Amino acid sequence: MKKFVNVVFALLLIALVPVSSVFAATPPQKVLIGISKIVAHPALDSVEKGIQDELAAAKINATFDLQNANGDIGTAASIANKFQSEKVTLAVGIATPTSQSLVNTLKGIPIVFSAVTDPVKAGLVSSLKGAQKPVTGVSDMTPVKQQIELLLKIKKIKRLGHIYTSSEENAVVLAGVVKQACKELGLEYVETTVSKSAEVKQAVQAIIKRVDALYISTDNTVVSALSSIAEVALKNKVPIISADPSSAEKYPVLAAWGFDYYKMGRATGKLIVEILNGKKPEQIPTRFMTKTSDVDLLINLDVAKKLGVTIPKDVVKTANKIVENGKLNNKP
């Protein structure tokens, strides 16, 4: 009888193993997600919204601590310390500076970055294949040369202006890519740098008479001042090609070709769900937006008219977002 009881007990233990494994793979009941973005502007706001919507779709009962560093590195560090004190379940850095603050500060907390151009150069991960710390995320490395080539299809230029933030790793990396693309395309590269968004308008005014067009990258400090850039450019009849279609929906930019940042937020949210379900972030490679549907091309026909520029029909046909007569039309 005793032997029979022992056998039954052993079988019960075996039967319980997969059940306990299932429970181990479910997210903790109380999930607190800390999200720190470097500044508020349409693209980064879309990432934030996408993350929240993806977790809701996955039925993760999460509370969010949404923080905005307002372009200040000191504030980004304070937010990271706040997350450590709160012992958030997982922390998200939207853009490079806030992600760097999280990685440099947090201990024992998984970190996910989003909208970071070069996570290796930024010191977030040791390799795109994985990290030594519990860190992973989604990159927004953008096709700079193709974006400039798109501008050249619309208008022939000789001098391209570029404004970037000298203290933001993401922006410095992209400036190097823009400079190289200009060299390969036979364009004169004219640059000016800023340290904060309040300097952007003056920086644009300083070079606007020396350029035929402006290229705006995914530099968050610069994009947050896009209204000022567009105002100066339009006044001087200088076209803008931007890597941020989300912001271009609100401001008079001739063309914008880049990622749908809401979809990037959803992709980031999927990654977060995987981690909450037990996957180790350091074992997850950096992800990239590679689908055709992840990219938007916006053409502003109203701006083209004001600039006296005719957009080629094939470019208009390719665009999935068109601004005309003050309205944004989304093509399926």
Question: Which tokens hold the place of 152?
Answer: 């050249």
Percentage above 70 pLDDT, the chain: 92
pLDDT of residue 331: 85
Mean pLDDT of the chain: 91
Q: 292 vs 106, which has greater pLDDT?
A: 106
Percentage above 90 pLDDT, the chain: 84
Q: What is the pLDDT of residues 13-27, one digit of tens each?
A: 333 344 333 334 566
**pLDDT at residue 314 above 60?**
yes
CB 133 within 8 A of CB 280: no
pLDDT of residue 218: 92
Q: 7 vs 318, which has greater pLDDT?
A: 318
Q: What is the pLDDT of residues 58-98, one digit of tens each?
A: 999 999 999 999 999 999 999 999 999 999 999 999 999 99
Query: What is the pLDDT confidence band of residue 268, given thresholds at 50, 70 and 90?
Result: very high
Rounded Cα–Cα distance for residues 28 and 63 (Å): 12
Of all helices (H) and strands (E), which one includes residue 251?
none
Decide yes or no: CATH 3.40.50.2300 for domain 144-260+293-330. yes
Three-state secondary structure call for residue 107: coil
pLDDT of residue 27: 60
Whether 31-139+261-291 and 144-260+293-330 share one fold: the answer is yes
Residues 175, 177, 182, 183, Cα dihedral to 10°: 120
Residue 111 CA: distances (Å) to CA of 39, 279, 314: 19, 13, 42
Report the topology of domain 31-139+261-291: Rossmann fold (3.40.50)
Query: What is the pLDDT confidence band of residue 313, given thresholds at 50, 70 and 90?
Result: very high
Q: What is the pLDDT of residues 175-218, one digit of tens each?
A: 999 999 999 999 999 999 999 999 999 999 999 999 999 999 99
**pLDDT at residue 303 above 90?**
yes
CB 62 within 8 A of CB 270: no
Query: What is the pLDDT confidence band of residue 293, given thresholds at 50, 70 and 90?
Result: confident
Q: Per-domain residue ranges for the chain?
A: 31-139+261-291, 144-260+293-330
Closest CA to 313 of 322, 24, 89: 322
Q: What is the pLDDT of residues 248-266, one digit of tens each?
A: 999 999 999 999 999 999 9
Q: What is the pLDDT of residues 97-115, one digit of tens each?
A: 999 999 999 999 999 999 9
CB 257 within 8 A of CB 41: no
Question: Which tokens hold the place of 321?
Answer: 């977002």
What one-letter code names the amino acid at 133?
Answer: K
pLDDT of residue 11: 35
pLDDT of residue 28: 62
pLDDT of residue 57: 98
Rounded Cα–Cα distance for residues 105 and 214 (Å): 37
Mean pLDDT within 299-309: 97
Question: Which tokens hold the place of 303?
Answer: 């701006």
Closest CA to 134 of 92, 191, 78: 92
Where in 39-158 does DSSP place strands (E)?
62-68, 90-94, 111-116, 135-139
Q: pTM for the whole thing?
A: 0.80
Question: Which tokens hold the place of 10?
Answer: 């052993």
